[in-house]
Structure 1
Amino acid sequence: MADSEPVVVVADLVPLPGKEDAVEAALRRAVAATHEQDAGCELYAAHRSRTGFVVIEKWSSAEDLQKHGGGAAFAALSAELDGLLAESIEVSLLQPLPAGDGELGAL
């Protein structure tokens, strides 16, 4: 994956039983903070899933993603999630493979 290509990230978060509301609140704050603070963020959206939550992210480059990982918004989220998750966050880095319609075929 070249540094200047967009990077898509999917992060799965599984809350401890009874901690779903706290995780949701932390994610809502993190989404807003990331949108405001992190350059290169093209998409940062949280969703409910069958097992908890999924965050789908799109960064303009690997460098922008790396800066996000060292930034204030991510640090605050990590601190808030301490003790709320049943397992480590599962993170998948995806490289877009656009096809078909330019807008429909890529995230």
Structure 2
Amino acid sequence: MTEPVVVVATVVPKPGRDEEVEAAFRTAVAATHAQDDGCELYALHRSVRGKEGFVVVEKWSSADALRAHGGGAAFAALSAEVADLLVEPLGVTVLQPLPAGDEELGRL
């Protein structure tokens, strides 16, 4: 059985570019939900404490699904749209689950 893959992506807009970055990500979320097979979760969040910007929490059915997303139309369009709007490149962290405690609560 293939294990799901969880990803946390961080986005730091240049000063004054938050609205543009948020709009680009809202479009990308909708496109990803509609187009990318294996997407189990792709959720945009605004950071309200800590580093400013946005965080996308993702869950993919497999590493292959994540790779396909990375090479897909929705991600390509997003990357092009925000290329000049970010302070730093998109930060991507791929996580390995370490379930503990209650099986329902200890894993995404």
TM-score (norm 1): 0.93
Per-residue deviation, residues 47-82 of structure 1 (Å, max 9, x unmatched): 001410000100010000000000011011101112
Counterpart in 2 of 1:18?
Answer: 16
Secondary structure of the residue aligned to 1:55 is strand
Aligned to 2:3, which of 2, 5, 28?
A: 5
Question: Displacement of 1:40 after TM fit?
Answer: 0.5
C-alpha contact (below 8 Å) 1:6/1:95 kept by paired residues: no
| C-alpha RMSD over aligned residues | 1.2
Conserved 8 A contact 1:11-1:89 = yes
CA distance in 2, matches of 1:28, 1:105: 28
Query: What's the counterpart of residue 89 of structure 1?
Result: 90
**What are the superposed Cα offsets for residues 23-65 of structure 1, whole Å, 9 maximum, x if unpaired?**
0000100111000000111100010014100001000100000
Supply the AA of the counterpart residue of 1:98. Answer: P
Question: Within 5 A, what are the aligned runs for 1:1-107?
Answer: 4-49=2-47, 50-107=51-108
- One-letter amino acid of the structure 1 residue matched with residue 79 of structure 2: S
Amino acid aligned to 2:36: D
Unaligned segments of structure 2, at least 5 residues: none
State the shift of 1:6 in Å. 0.9
Partner SS, residue 36 of structure 1: helix
List runs of 5+ in structure 1 lacking aligned partners: none
Q: Percent identity?
A: 70
Tell me, in whole angstroms, the C-alpha distance in 2 between the residues paired with 1:35 and 1:102: 26
SS, match of residue 86 in structure 1: coil
